[in-house]
Amino acid sequence: MSINVNRPTTKSNLVIEQNKVQKQEDAGKSNNTKAASSNSDSVQLTEQAMNLNKMQKTNAGESQVNTKRVESIKAAILNGDYKINSEQLAEKIGKFESDFNKTFAS
């Protein structure tokens, strides 16, 4: 395998180069020129990956932050008017941790 010192190497580039070398070696061993000439790389995305890509494209133009709400909370904090309901906060943190553990524990 040759190394190109002029091009930055990433892990995926290295894997691709290794795959090319391996395919060339396999083609030479099999002496089957038809099979060697038809080798090509292909990628298949799962349905989940395609859905994720579709969602990302759909949400790309939308703002992820409600700027009006953020500004009103900032103003309330600066004025000293913002009150935190500690019981409600504790319940929501507990629910979040429970949901998180259910999702990633299995």
**Domain range enclosing 103:** 67-106
- Whole-model pTM? 0.33
The verdict on residue 15 lying in a domain is no
Cα 83 from chain centroid (whole Å): 37
Of the pLDDT bands very low, low, confident and very high (cuts 50, 70, 90), residue 78 is very high
The verdict on residue 81 lying in a domain is yes
Q: How far is CA 72 from CA 62, 77, 81, 83, 84, in A?
A: 20, 9, 11, 13, 15
The verdict on residue 77 lying in a domain is yes
Q: Which two tokens stand for residue 79?
A: 């004025």
Total number of domains in the chain = 1
Query: What pLDDT sits at residue 83?
Result: 92
The verdict on residue 4 lying in a domain is no
